[in-house]
Structure 1
Amino acid sequence: MVLHRALFALDAERAHGVGLKLLNLLPSRPANASPRLETALAGMNLPHPIGLAAGFDKNATAVRGFAGLGFAYVEVGTVTPRPQVGNPRPRLFRLETDAAIINRLGFNNDGVATVGKRLRALGSRPVPLGINIGMNKDSREALPDYLTGMNALSSLADYITLNVSSPNTPGLRALQQVDRLRDLLRPVLERRAELARDLARRLPVFLKIAPDLSIDEALAIAELARDLGIDALMISNTTIDRPATLSSPARVETGGLSGKPLMQPSTALLREVRRGIGKSLPLIGIGGIFKAEDVLAKILAGATAVQLYSGLVYEGPGLVRRLVRDLDRLLDERSIGRLAEAIGADA
């Protein structure tokens, strides 16, 4: 708790950097998950459904540290073909009274060559690893950048996520228009099939969408993703919406909002997509998870697994183990034999 308070005394981005450096120094204490929490996701057998969302470890500098916090799987990135510095600082803001974060980082990262070298040096992956890829800000076309990311990083990943929903790269969210998305996904998935022969395994590809889509837009994307062979739809990225309930001074900052205010809208969109798409496409619930009740709400709404980011900032490094323990207790209280039985029960 003392360290947690000390980090909050620093500005948000500096604290984030210090926290990442300290993470690998913490004792490794994997979560002790009950067998009833076992989760199957795109060929990955996970001890529980809780993963780290992309954005926390953009450059894959703390994969072992996050595994040691008890995450069942870890997603790094977003990684772009070429290194880029991102947007000018300040660009990361804590909304402490709202338990939220606003970021306009702009895909700041070391690029595929450096991140790939770092992951190769890591050796065996301590937990299943996802790599989130995107396009450089100054790229004229999106497809070559996503293919570059696939080519450079697929051998190092258990799955690849296509980020077409960050609000901080101009024009990126326009890729969610169904016609443009089809033109992106088809060649990416064709390349995935070619890579599978070299890898001697099938590489799952996930797609991450924004919470600001209408239900019809999200359903159209989900149907396209299912029909083309995307392995999971991630709902959702950060929002550009600003709920009237926000009270922190930083609420006026531009960028993507995450944290507790995202729990309700992202879960509502998740539920509507599950209702519309049925069980034909796995969904991953992201946004606003701070307690086990939030995890279960995402599962009941239709998620197979979940990811978190902001909750870890506010609740500290013991959060995942608490979530796993309390989620098991919730299942017991509700007489749910296995977590998998709860998927979509409220959709």
Structure 2
Amino acid sequence: MFLTGCSEDYKLDESFTLPTELSGPEEVAIDLQSSENIVLTWNGGANDGGVLLYSVLFDKGDGNFSEPIYTSQSDFGATRQLTLTHVILNKIAREAGLKTAETGKVKWTVEASRGGVVRRSQECGEILITRPAEEIPEQLYLLGSATENQGTAPVPFRKESDGIFVIYTKLSSGNIYFTDALEDGVNYTVDSSGKLIEGDEAYNVEAEENVVRLTLNFNAKTISKDLISGVRMIWGATFDVIADMQYVGNGSFKKENVNIKFVDPNDPTTNPPSWLTWVEERYYFISTINGADVCWGRGDNVSAEQPGENEPATFYELHEFAWSQWDHLWKMSHSLNKKTCTVTIETNANNMMIHSFSDVK
């Protein structure tokens, strides 16, 4: 690869050698369905053979990395290599200002660090990138006569990750299509092979008795449908149902007048197991999807804990896992014990899927 010098001069730290040779492809034509990776490598290392941490910075072709458009740790953080997918490189190209079907340059370089000392290589690599002709939307809406509002207004999807959108809804007999803006958006539909394509012609669907989860993956140009036949909140210790959630429309499940009683070994009415020696307040949700039970639970791998007074919405965010009894639980606030309340799951609240408690009495 032809290397060009960056505009800033950086003093080398004596404890390690900065990369002086960067290697990677000179040109890439983005193929969002490709399984091949783009690999960037470089030289350098610690003088004593120890570990260095590396970050790779990307910028526009005329940038100087003062405000990089994308930064990533190297593979495993300490290897002299970064592996990129076509999806990620497409995202970088988009951040560089390249439109669909355009070709342009993206610049990259490497920072090395050790013991709090961070230095940037004086070398830069360039990649000439050609974006695909079809744009991956940044937002998405559902329209059509089969929607909950019969197509009178766009219904927003939740953006799960770059290029992947999810919506929980009810469908009647009719047609649906998708758009990426409330007004004058790019419309998408599904062709005869089931592939997502740009197009204005809606496609027909049948009515579904159950709640439908539609997942659109623009990276792979696929659409999938899951059927949600039940959602219930249960105690982790006993599996007893706290609330049998009902779908109320607009992507929300709700149950009013829920009677909350923690599982208490001294209170037989709470159905305590014989081995229980403490008051149990741990809970999660079980959703029946395509006939199988899965866990909708906490996603941060932290042991169950009670909420503080001002927890952010992310504390109550739901993630989907295989069901394991003692994983992904929350502890319920003591203020709810022996009270009634309304439990709500919103599948698209500020681009999150969260649950909440309200109307506590």
Instruction: With the length of structure 1 as denominator, give the TM-score of the two structures.
Output: 0.22
If each structure's helix is expressed as a fraction of its own residues, which one has the higher value? 1
If each structure's strand is expressed as a fraction of its own residues, which one has the higher value? 2
Tell me: higher relative CO, structure 1 or 2? Use CA pairs within 8 A at least 6 residues apart: 1
Which structure: larger Rg?
A: 2
